[in-house]
Amino acid sequence: MRSKTLVPYMFVAPAVILFSIFMAYPIIYSFILSFQSGQGSNMEFTGLDNFARLFSDDIFITALKNTFILLIIQVPIMIFLALIIANLLNSALLKFKGVFRVSFFLPAVTSLVAYSIIFSIMLMNDGVVNQFITAIGLDSIPWLSDPFWAKASLIIAMTWRWVGYNMVIFLAGLQNIPDELYEAASMDGASKIRQFFSITIPNLKPVILFTVILSTIGTLQLFDEPFVLTKGGPSDATLTIGMYLYQTGFRFFDFGYASTIAYVIVILIAIMTFIQFKVTGDQE
């Protein structure tokens, strides 16, 4: 009998053991680390010093600003684009739906580093994009070396990658809106655009909230794109919190401070998510 009761535990054991070794333990250990400071193995317990240091750390504040600028500009653009594309691809008039859906979704499954490298090659000073721009008679743009354009490049790259992903989620959501609503609206003479704003968006609200939260979490942890495209430059113009965390730990060996930054990111994500729930209001 005893062996029988063991069976279910054996089935969950691998997951539990792996989770404790690779998730729970690091989470707890980095929490302890976040109250210590020093280079490498010369760690000492400093209490809340790391948190105090964060607020006077200009570079952290720059990274925070950058991350929020990206968040505030990129997420709405991307969500809106994804909504529009999902609607178009949902229309009954469109042929080859499958092809379009797949091609919009493909960027989301490409390797992060590979796509970042391709973008960096395209956006180089004498890259394809600038060759095209100069060919049509405009001045070439310093995509990766000017503080403003470097941010713009990141936004373009991230939008390219994630629009399709959110579009697929919206497409699923659109299936759940009853056709009768649209039919009734058409009878009342509402235009397609009016229908989009008055029927589609309100009905998709929970799905939109879900994608906004996902994107927010993703952007707060943003690392690969700035790391490959701009190395956080020029002069920290595209340094994100995620990159600063990596640099602090692996380049400057201050694992304690890096853990503090990691926990601040967690707290930020929690706050942002909470606010988004509150703002959108309906607690179903």
Partner 1 sequence: MKKWWSATGLVAASAMMLAGCSGTDGGNGSSGDGEGGKTTLTAWAWNVNVGALNDAMEMYQEENPNVEIQVEDLGRLDVYDKLSTGLAAGGVGLPDIVLVEDDRIGGYATAFPEGFVNLSDMGFDDNADLFPSFKQELAQVDGSYYAMPFDAGPGGMFYRRGLFEQAGVNADEIETWDDFLEAGKKIKEETGAFAMPLDKFKDDPTFRMMLNQLGTYYFDENGNIDLTSDEAVMAMEKLIEFEEAELIKEVDGWNGVVSATVDNSVAAIPFGAWYYGTIIDQAADSSGDWGVFLLPAFEEGGNRASNLGGSSWMIPAGGENEEAAYEFLEYFSTTPEVQLVAMQDYGLFPSLNSTYEEELFTSEDEFFGGQKIWELFANQMADVETPYYTEDYALGLDEAIKAQADAFNGMDPAEALKAAAERLAERTDREINN
Where on the chain is the footprint of partner 1 (CB under 8 A)?
Answer: 6, 10, 13-14, 17-18, 21-22, 39-42, 58-59, 120-121, 124-125, 144-147, 230-231, 233-236, 247, 250-253, 255
Please, which residue, 87 or 259, has the CB nearer to partner 1? 259
Q: How far is the CB of 84 from partner 1 (least distance, A)?
A: 34
Q: How far is the CB of 114 from partner 1 (least distance, A)?
A: 15
Q: From CA 53, how far away is CA 152, in angstroms rounded? A: 30
Please, which residue, 52 or 59, has the CB nearer to partner 1? 59
Q: How far is the CB of 2 from partner 1 (least distance, A)?
A: 10
Please, which residue, 21 or 32, has the CB nearer to partner 1? 21
Q: Which amino acid is at 28?
A: I
Q: How far is the CB of 69 from partner 1 (least distance, A)?
A: 18
- Beta carbons within 10 angstroms of residue 150's beta carbon: 24
Please, which residue, 25 or 274, has the CB nearer to partner 1? 25
User: Are 276 and 212 within 8 A, CB to CB?
Assistant: yes
Please, which residue, 50 or 215, has the CB nearer to partner 1? 50
Q: How far is the CB of 144 from partner 1 (least distance, A)?
A: 7
Please, which residue, 41 or 91, has the CB nearer to partner 1? 41
Please, which residue, 216 or 259, has the CB nearer to partner 1? 259
User: Are 35 and 256 within 8 A, CB to CB?
Assistant: yes
Q: How far is the CB of 21 from partner 1 (least distance, A)?
A: 6
Q: How far is the CB of 92 from partner 1 (least distance, A)?
A: 46
Q: To 10 degrees, what angle do helices 97-105 and 147-174 make?
A: 140
